[in-house]
Amino acid sequence: MKTRHFLMMAILAVGIAMTSVMMASCSKEDDPTENLDNSSLDVNDPEGTLEVSETNIILPSDGKSVKLIATYKSPKGLYEPTAIHMYHEDGKEVAGVQDGDNMVFDIVRVGTYTVSAGSRSLTVKVRISSM
């Protein structure tokens, strides 16, 4: 029992000491632009960012589809899954399903696809497995 009490008191003392150090460092009247150690900076591409799960897809020979996941972050830094569109090389749009911040496409045909959002676009090449 005495050991547990001593251990709890030691933990409490360390916590108080750490809090005092943290408060002392927070109360300094330094120029806030000089110390950016605890700051975070979110940088956005002025053109937006478009990413896909894969750019070279191999369809299985059994005819099953392969899922392609695409994510678009606008120039404002917002995820905009509904801005993502995918077209097969024949010009037909491939329907996607929104899943959170992503758009998911089921690919069932070989060929070259273009995934686009905003001013960004990516090419996805699809071929069938040789096995």
- CATH of region 49-128, choose from 2.60.40.10, 2.30.30.100, 2.60.120.10, 3.40.640.10: 2.60.40.10
Provide the token pair at 84.
């993502």
User: What does the alpha-carbon distance between residue 85 and residue 92 come to, in Å, rounded to a whole number?
Assistant: 11
User: What does the alpha-carbon distance between residue 53 and residue 71 come to, in Å, rounded to a whole number?
Assistant: 9
Q: Is 70 exceeded by the pLDDT of residue 10? A: no
Tell me the pairing of strands 49-52 and 93-94.
unpaired
Query: Which residues are registered as beta bridge partners of 98?
Result: 103
Residue 59 near residue 128, CB atoms below 8 Å: yes
> What pLDDT, in 10s, does the model give residues 30-67?
444 454 555 665 667 788 999 999 999 999 988 899 99
**When comparing pLDDT for 11 and 78, which is higher?**
78
> What pLDDT, in 10s, does the model give residues 85-130?
999 999 999 999 999 999 999 999 999 999 999 999 999 999 998 7
Is pTM beyond 0.85 here?
Answer: no
